Structure 1
Amino acid sequence: MGDPYRVKPGQKVKLSDIDPRDTDALGSEDEARGRLYLDATAIDTLQDRLYAEGKRSLLVILQGMDTSGKDGTVRGVFNTTGPLGVQVTAFRRPSEEEMAHDFLWRAHLAAPRRGTIGIFNRSHYEDVLVVKVRKLVPASDIEKRYDQINAFEKMLTENGVTILKFMLHISKAEQRERLQERLDDPKKHWKFNPGDLDDRKSWGDFMDAYETMLHRCSTEWAPWRIVPADRKWARNAVIADVVRKTLEDMNPTYPKVSWDPKSIKIV
C-alpha cells in the first residue's frame, strides 16, 4: 500500500496534481479501518520486540499544513503502542537555547534512542518550509539546508535509525472546514491560532516550498511519502500500513539469554 505514495529520489512533484481525497488503494472505509486496527495491534507487538532488542530505532516524521492531522495520526496509529518505547516530539517555535545552535541541533537531540520509535510532529523541515516562506533567513542559507538535511538523515540511518517521512497532503478547502470547526466548538478553541490564517494566505508559497522539499530531500535512505489527508481514516490507514511493514522488514528479535530458564526454580 505504501509504494503508490513514495516520492522517488530526484522526482519533481506537483501537489496540485495529487488528489488529497484519493482512496483508490484502500478499498472501502470499513475495510481500511479494519486493517488499521490490525496494523496498530501489530505495531505494538513489533515495538515490544524492537525495545527488547535494543539495537535499532525507527523515526517517523509527520509534516503538513495546519490541521492536516499530525496529532490525529499519532493517536490513530500509535495509541495502541505501549508508551515505554514511543517518544513524541512536537517541534514548535525554537527556544532561545535552540536558536543559539545550528538548525539541526534540536532534531538530533530528539532523535530516538535505540529500541524506541520516535515521532516528530513537525520537524527539522520547518527550516525549509516556514522559515523559507516567511523569509526568516537568507535564501542562500535555505539552499544549503537541503543537502545538510540529507547528510544528517544519512548519518542517522548509518547508525541504526530507520526513517519514515510522511507529508500529510490536505486541500485548502478541507483546511477551511477544520479551522471553522475549531472556531465553532468551544472545546477546540485552544487549538485555533489566529496566526495560522497568515500561513493560509501564503498557501501557494507553502505548496512551492513543499514541492522543493520533496524533490530535494526524498532519498533512498529516507524517502518521502505523500499521504492524501483530507479523509482522516485514509491517512491513518496508509501510515499504519507503512509503519507495520517497515517494522516487519526490520524484524527485531528478542535477545537470547545466556542462562537456561529450565534450570531455575522459583520457591
Structure 2
Amino acid sequence: MNRRASKHNQCRHGDAYYIAPSAPFRRRARTHHMEVSMHIGLIGGIGPAATEFYYRNLVKADQASDGDSRMELTICHAQASDLIRNIQAGNVDAQVRIFEVMANRLSAAGAEALAVTSIAGHFCISELKRVSPIPIIDALSGLESSLIRNGYTRVGVLGNKVVMETRLFDSFRETEVVVPPGNSLNKVHEAYMSIAVSGAANEDQRETIFQAGRKMCDEQGAQAVVLAGTDLFVAFDGYECGFKYVDSALVHIDAIYRASMETSDNKSRKADA
C-alpha cells in the first residue's frame, strides 16, 4: 500500500529536480510596453495529461518572472493513439509525417521554435529535425547536464518499452544508464502506456513503477531514476516513491521556458492595456 506523501515529504518537491525559481511563484507586474518573447509551439495531446503538465508549469514559470516580456505560446493537438501505434510498430516515417504537419501548422501560427511534449515522441526526433520548418527544443539535450549538476553518474530509466529498450539516452557521455531487467521492463511499459492513455494511475500501476525504480537503485546501483515518460508525474505526484528521481519533463519545460524568454525575431509590440 502506497501512502500519500505529507506536504513536506513529497517526492516531487523533495528528491526530484524541479524547475527554477525555488522561491514561491510571484505574479509579475505587467508594464504598458512589453518586449515580445520568442513564440513557442507545443505538439500536445500525447497524452493530454502531459500536455496540461507542460502548459501549467510554463505558465507558472512565466508568472514568476520579473522580466518585461510576454510568453507567446501555441499548442497543436496530436493523437496519442497514433503515437502509441507508431511507437509499437517502430514506424518512424509515419510519425514524422504526422509531426511534420503539426510543425507546419505551428509555424503558420507564428511559432519560431517547437517542442514535442512527450519523451516517447522523441523516438523520431532526429528525423523530425530534418523536415521541421522551425527549430526543435530537444528534451534530451540538457538532461545529462542536469544529472551531472546533481552528482548523478549512474541512473535508472522508467518509461515506455521503446524508450527503455532503444536507449534514447545512448547520447549520454558521462552518465551510465540502467533499465528494469527481464519481465519487469514489460510490466513498467504496460503500466505506463495505460497511464498515458487514461491520464490517471491506479494503485497497481503505481506500485509496479515504484518497485522497478527501487530495484534499479537497490540492486543495479542507480543513484537516481530518470522519469522518461512525460505522463509518469501522474503516478508520482503526492506519493512517496522510495527513491530519488529526476523528472525529464521538468528539465525539458525549463529549457522551453528559457528559450521562450529569448527576444522574438518579430519587433517588440505594444501590449494590451
Same fold (TM over 0.5): no
Q: Please tell me whether Structure 1 or Structure 2 has the larger radius of gyration of its CA atoms.
A: 1
Higher helix share: 1
Q: Which has the higher contact order (CA 8 A, sep 6+)?
A: 1
Give the structure-2-normalised TM-score: 0.30
TM-score by length of 1: 0.30
